[in-house]
Amino acid sequence: MKLIVAQGNPGPEYAATRHNVGFIVLEAYARKHSATFQAKDKFKAELAEFSEDSEQALLAKPQTFYNLTGESVRALVDFYKLNPEQDVLIIHDELALPFGTIRTRHSGSDAGNNGIKSINQHVGSDTSRIRIGIANELRERMDDASFVLSKFNTDENKVLEEKLPKIFSLIDAFIDGSFEATTHA
């Protein structure tokens, strides 16, 4: 089983914010696979499942709020007896990357991302990641918290929509075991 975790904040007020790009991507990916999210309080998450070429995929949107994501990931890893290094992929926004840049990696530090810090504390730093750049010219005029909680504009939503097939192919590569560390503009 492969666990795909999106970082984000629960609630409609956060739905279209930069910090929720992980949720936005995972919801679209679930629709592509006709998978439906259901609340699972035991895991502090909404979960959806599907099978791809005999590999089961579990999609998770933690409901702990972004900075406590590790609590949900720990519960899922323990229950399903997963190896974080081989079986867990995290999808999250990246403030240090230009908007629309997609970078993958196999492990690493939190680089100031409190959600990744929580995951690293709970399951270690060896999870795979898809980092989606959210930085733009507004970034320099706002504090970090205000910026990540701001909504995407119309043009950004269009670019994000255009990036989905590439992100989906990276998730598919993780599920089938061919995931590599790369950067995509």
Enter the tokens of residue 145: 């918290």
Helix, strand, coil shares of the chain, percent, nearest 5, are: 45, 30, 30
| Residue from 100, 108, 76, 104 nearest 91 by CA | 104
Cα distances from 35 to residues 56, 96, 165, in angstroms, run 12, 32, 17
| Residue from 95, 98, 68 nearest 5 by CA | 68
184 carries an active-site annotation: no
Sheet strands side by side (includes 183-184) = 38-40, 45-52, 55-62, 2-6, 88-98, 128-135, 102-105, 183-184
Q: What type of residue sits at position 82?
A: L
Catalytic annotation, residues = 19
